[in-house]
Chain A
Amino acid sequence: MQLFTCPFCGPRGESEFHFGGDAGNIRPEGDVSAEVWTDYLYFKNNSRGAARQIWMHLACREVFLMERDTVTHEVISSEALVQEQQA
C-alpha cells in the first residue's frame, strides 16, 4: 500500500484517498466544440514519470494537488489548492 501525504493530515494509506484527475484539466465553459469537451472528459495525460494530480483525502474531505512519479511511485510533493488565510 502506498503512502500519500495529505497537506492537512500528513502521510496516510492510499485507501484513504480518492483520485480526482490530472491537475490542470480545466472544465471548459460555455459553447465549446465537441472535440474540446471530449478531450476534457476522456483524454487523460497518463504520463510516465512525474505527474501532477488532484486527489481528495476522504477522511478530511480536502482536495489537494499531489505530484507523484508514476514509475517509481515516489510522492514528490503535495500542497493545498487554496492557502489557508492567516488569522
Chain B
Amino acid sequence: MSGWRVETQGWAVDRSRPVRFTFDGKSVSGFAGDSLASALLAAGVTTVGRSFKYHRPRGFWSAGAEEPNGMADILGTPHRVNVQMTVEPAQDGMVLRSINGRPSAEKDRNAFIDRFARFIPAAFYYKTFMFPDWHMFEPRIRAMAGLGALDPAAEGHLPTAQANAFCDLLVIGAGPAGLTAALKAAEAGRKVILCDDQPVAGGSLLYREALIDGVAGPDWAAAAVARLRELGAQVMLQTTAFGRYEHGLTGLAESLGQGDAPRLWRVRAAETLLASGAIERGLPFANNDRPGVMSAMAALQYLRRYGVAVGRRIIVATNNGIAYEAAQALALAGAHVTVIDPRADAPACDLPRRRDRIEAVIGRNGVEAVLLASGEKIAADAVIASGGFTPTVHLYSQAQGKLRFDEAIQGFVPERKVTGLSVIGAANGAFGLAEVLADAAAAVGAVSPKAEGPHWPFKIDAAWPAPKAKGRIWLDLQNDVTAKDVELAARENFVSVEHLKRYTTLGMANDQGKTSNLPGLALMAQLTGRSIQETGTTTYRPPFVPIPLASFAGIRGGQLMNPVRRLPLEAEHRSDGALFREYGGWLRPAWFGKGEEAEAVNREAKAARESVGLFDGSPLGKIEVIGPDAGKFLDFIYYNTMSTLKPGRCRYGFMLTEQGAVYDDGVLVRLDENRFIVSCSSSHTQGVALLLEEWRQDSFDRARVQIHDATSRYATLTVTGPKSKALLEAVGLGADLSDEALPHMALTYGAFGGEPVRITRVSFTGDRSYELSIRADRALPLWRALKETGRAFDAVLLGGEALMVLRAEKGYIVIGKDTDGRTRPMDLGVSGPFEKKRGEYLGKRSLHLPAVSDQARAYVGLESLTGEVLPCGAHAVERNGSAKRSIGFVTTSHFSPNLSRPIALGLVENGASRIGEILELHHLGKSLKARIAPVCAFDPEGKRLHA
C-alpha cells in the first residue's frame, strides 16, 4: 500500500470523471485519463501479477509498451489475454484477472515454488524430465507456469477491415523528435503520417520538464498536433508501428477500443523516420524484481501525467543524471527521497544522498528497506532504479540495420541509415532535448526549435550485472531469468546470444526482452571476455508488441477469403430446387429436389441413361488458342499430336507437367485452321491458361500464337442420353444433327433466338451427348427451352453428383481425383505418343527417366467382393511375411444404379497386368477384398455413344 494520489499533479486525468473496474475481484477506482496501471498504483495495489516460472510477486516496472510484469487478462467480450496495463486506458466496468496467480496475484497458492528456485535453474526441465517421456510431465508443468489464460469458450475480437496508406514521410513516435520532424516536413508541403502508441501525443514531453520555443512540453505537443492536422497530415494515436517490411512498408496497428480488433495499416512511405525513443533499464541488485521497484521515467510519468506518487519513502538509485529529475519531482510532491549514486562526478543536489550502490532489496512481498554495499540499511516503501537507456531500434533492426555499441550512452545505436529509413532522437542515442530537436530538424532539412530543460546531464557510468554476485539478480522479469542462469548458460557453452536466448528464455515471450536483453548480453560479454559489441544482439523480428491474429486476418474470412465462382444460371437452378456444393471453386448444383442424396443421385443417373439429362457445364474451360502457329504450339503443349486434327473436329488429350505427370485432360476443338479451343477441367482453367501463356512467351513467336481465356464468356449446356438428339431437334437449333453431318467428336454451329450456338458432340457420360455453348448472358432462354421441350422426352436435371456416377461407370478420369502427382499418361492406358510421337512436348524427357517409372501405378477398376461400396482412399496392401506395403489405393467409389452394384476405380502397381487378381484393402482398421477389373464397367463396347 505505497502509491498515493498527488492532488497538485496529474494533468492528464479528469478528476470529475471517475471510472471503476475490478482487479482479481477487488473494486478499483480511478479517473478518465488513467491507465489501468496508474489507477491500480493510486489505489495502493503493488502486486499485480505472479511471475512466469517461480510465482514471485511482481509490480509495475514501467509506464509503457516495454512492461514485463504488469499484464492482465481482460474478461468479457472480447476476452483479451496478456494486456499491458501500462498502456491500456482505464475504462468503466472492465473486469481484470491477474496472470499466473490463483486465486489472486496477492494470494497465490503456488507461491511456494519460489522456495525451490535454486533447484530449478535454466534448462532444469530439459534435463530432468527426459525419462520416460517429457509428455508425461508437460501438462502439469504447463499448468504451473505461464502468463495469461485463454478461455476457449470466450469470444474473440470482432473483425476489423484493414487499410492501406501512402505518404511522403511516415514518422513513428510523437515525442519531441517525431513531432518536430513531422511538423517541419508538413510545413514544407510533404504528405505526412505520424503515429504513436499513446492516446496523447508528446512522448517524454508528457512528463519531463521542458520548454520548446518557450511553451511547456504537453502544450507544445498539443499545439503541434493541431497544426499538423491543419496542414493535412494524418496523426494516428493509439497506433503502434509494429513491423518494418520490404520496400518502404511499415505495419501499424490502430487500437479501436475494447471490442474490435486493432486495425492493421499497411503504410508505404517514400521515407520513414523512426523516433521511437529509448527504454530505461534497471540496476543489478538482489531482489530487484520486488513490487515497488520501478524505473525512474515510469515514476516520473505516474507522478506528472497521472498524479500518482509510487511511495512515501523512496530510494532513487541511479548510474546516470536523468533519474535526478524524478528524484526532485517526487521530493517536491511530498515524498521522502534518498538518492543512491556511486558516480564520482554526480551532480550537485540538495536531497539526502549516498555515494554507494544497492546490494539488495529487503522485503518479502514488497519493498521494506534497502541494504547498501556499505552495509547501511535504509527503510523505504519504493525503489526507483535507473540503469541507463536503451534506444528503441527494433524497426531499424528489422530492416537489417546494423548496430554499434556507443560507450558514451552504454547502449546500441544505429550505425547508419538503411534504405528509406532513418532513426532520430533518443532512438538514435541523442538524450538531451536540444540534441534531440536538432537531430530531428536536420533529418528533414529544417531549423531546430529552441529547447530549454531538463537540466540534469546524462553522464552514465556502466552498471552491468557482474559474475558471481550475491543473491538473486533478475535480468528478465517476464521469463524469470537471473544472472545465475546466464552464468550457467556460459558454463555449458551456450555463449552465442541466440543460444543464450533459447537456453535460458532470456528475451522471449510478449516483451521480447525490451528491458532485459542488453543486461543479459553485457553479462555474457564479461563471462566470455568479449566486448558488448562482439557479443552482439539477437535478431529483432516483428511484431514490436503482440498484435492479435484477428488484425492480420481482417475481414478476410469465408466468402471474403476465397469467393466461390457462380454460374450464370444459378437463380434458375435454385428455383428448380438445386442443392449447391462447391466443386473446384465453383458453386454448382449437386442434385435437384428435396430427396436424400443417395436417392436423388440414383434417380438422376438412371433417368439420364434412359431418356435425356440436362447438365449445366458452364465452368468447363474454354481457352482459345489463335494464330498460324497454334497447331505447332498445341503439339508442344499436349502429350497427343494435335496439329493433325481437322477443322470441325475434336480430340481428347492430356497435358503433362515437365516432370511427366498428367496435369490436365480434356477435349481440344479445332474451329478452323488457326483457331482452337482448349476445354480443360473446370477447376484447372486458370492454371492451364497460365501454363499456355508461359510457354507461348518462352518458346514461341508471340505474334503467331495468342491465348484468350473465354471461359466465363460462354455458358455450356450439356444434353446427354439416348433421347438427346431428338430433344435438340425438337428445340430447333437450325443445325444438321445427323450422324453424317455431326458424328461423335465433331463440331457444328446453330442458333437459338438469333444467338449463335456452338454445338460439339463430345461425351463425359458414355451416352450420346451434345455440349451447347452460348453467350453466358443469353443462355437462360435456351436452358428454359431445353427444360420445357424436354418434358415430352422425360428429361431430367442432372447435378454434379450424378454426373460423377455416370463418368465412373465408364471409367472416365477426373484429374486430381483419379490421378496424383506421379500419374503418367501410360498409367492411364495411353502410351501411343510415348512410343511414337516424334516432336518435343511438355514432360517428354521425364517419361523416359528410370526414376519416373519406378513403382508406377496403373489406373484400374475395382470390384467389391462383399457387395458393399468400397471406401474411397482405402489402400491396397501387399504382405511380405508380417510386413505390409501399400501398392495403391481407391480413388473413386460409387453405387451404380445402372449396374445395380458398387463400382470403384483406383491406382494399383502393375494394375493393368493384374486384371482378375484379388486385392486386400485396408481402411481405418477395416480389411476388405476387391477384384481388379477393367476401368470401364458400363457399355464396354461404347455402343451407346452412337445410340
Contact = CB atoms under 8 A, between A and B. Distances in A.
B397 to A, nearest CB: 15
Given A1-B266, A56-B693, A56-B694, A41 B658 contact: yes
A80 to B, nearest CB: 10
B702 A73 contact: no
Contact of B659 (A32, A41, A62, A82): A41
Interface stretch (B244-252, B284-292, B357-365, B508-516): B244-252
A74 interface: yes
Interface residues of B, number: 23
B123 interface: no
A20 interface: yes
B247 A2 contact: yes
Nearest to B849: A34
A82 B702 CA distance: 9
Given A37-B846, A37-B849, A41-B658, A1 B690 contact: no
B690 A56 contact: yes
Contacts of A56: 690, 693-694
Contacts of B246: 1-3, 73
B694 A63 contact: yes
Contacts of B850: 34
A34 B850 CA distance: 9
A29 B840 CA distance: 7
Interface string B398-412: 001000000000000
Contacts of A72: 400, 419
Contacts of B345: none
Interface string A44-58: 000000000000101
Interface in B419-451: 419
Nearest to B248: A3
A56 B400 CA distance: 28
A81 B697 contact: yes
B133 interface: no
Contacts of A41: 658-659, 846
Interface string B378-419: 000000000000000000000010000000000000000001
A30 B848 CA distance: 12
Contacts of A3: 246-247, 268
Contact of A74 (B268, B419, B693, B697): B419
Nearest to B659: A41
A14 to B, nearest CB: 8
Nearest to B693: A61
Nearest to B699: A27
B698 interface: yes
A84 B840 CA distance: 28
A1 B464 CA distance: 40
Interface string B227-254: 0000000000000000001110100000
A86 interface: no
B845 interface: yes
A41 B842 CA distance: 12
Nearest to B698: A63
Contacts of A58: 690
Interface in A3-37: 3, 18, 20, 27-30, 32, 34, 37
Nearest to B709: A61
B694 A20 contact: yes
A50 B245 CA distance: 19
B690 A18 contact: yes
A42 to B, nearest CB: 9
Given A1-B249, A82-B702, A38 B849 contact: yes
Contacts of A75: 247
A73 B693 contact: no
Contact of B247 (A18, A20, A27, A73): A73
B629 to A, nearest CB: 15
Nearest to A58: B690
7 contacts: A1-B249, A3-B247, A30-B840, A61-B707, A63-B694, A73-B246, A75-B247
Interface of B: 245-247, 249, 266, 268, 400, 419, 658-659, 690, 693-694, 697-699, 702, 707, 840, 845-846, 849-850
Given A1-B247, A41-B659, A72-B419, 14 more contacts: A1-B245, A2-B247, A3-B246, A3-B268, A27-B699, A28-B845, A30-B840, A37-B849, A41-B846, A62-B697, A63-B693, A73-B246, A73-B247, A82-B697
List the 3 shortest-distance A-B pairs measured between CB atoms, nearest first. Answer: A63-B697, A3-B247, A2-B246
